[in-house]
Amino acid sequence: MQRLSPIKVLQARAEARCYLYQCGQFDLETAVEPLYLFAIERGISMSLAREIIHGVFGELLVAVEIPK
C-alpha cells in the first residue's frame, strides 16, 4: 500500500475544512488551526503550509492570526 504524501493530505484536509467552514460547521479559526498543527506534526515548513492553506481559503484568512 502506498503512503500518502503529507502535503497532499494537508491539501485535502484544507479543502474539506474550507467546505465545512463555508457550510457553517466551523468558525474560521476552528477550521484553520488544526491544519497548522498537522503541518507541524508532519514536519511541513510553515511557509509551505501557509501557501497551501491560503491557496484553499484565500481571502477568508485575512481575519485569522497565523501561528508562527
Tell me, what's the pLDDT at 26? 92
- Report the Cα 47 to chain-centroid distance in Å: 12
Tell me, what's the pLDDT at 59? 67
- Name the E strands within the chain: none
User: Is pLDDT at 48 greater than 60 in this prediction?
Assistant: yes
| C-alpha neighbours within 13 Å on the C-beta side of residue 1 | 2
Instruction: Tell me the whole-structure pTM to 2 decimals.
Output: 0.82
Please choose, from the candidates 60, 6, 8, the residue with its C-alpha nearest in 3D space to the C-alpha of residue 29: 60
Residues whose CB falls within 8 Å of the CB of residue 46, separated by 6 or more in sequence, listed in order? 36, 39, 40, 67, 68
The Cα–Cα gap between 45 and 28 comes to: 21
Tell me, what's the pLDDT at 58? 85
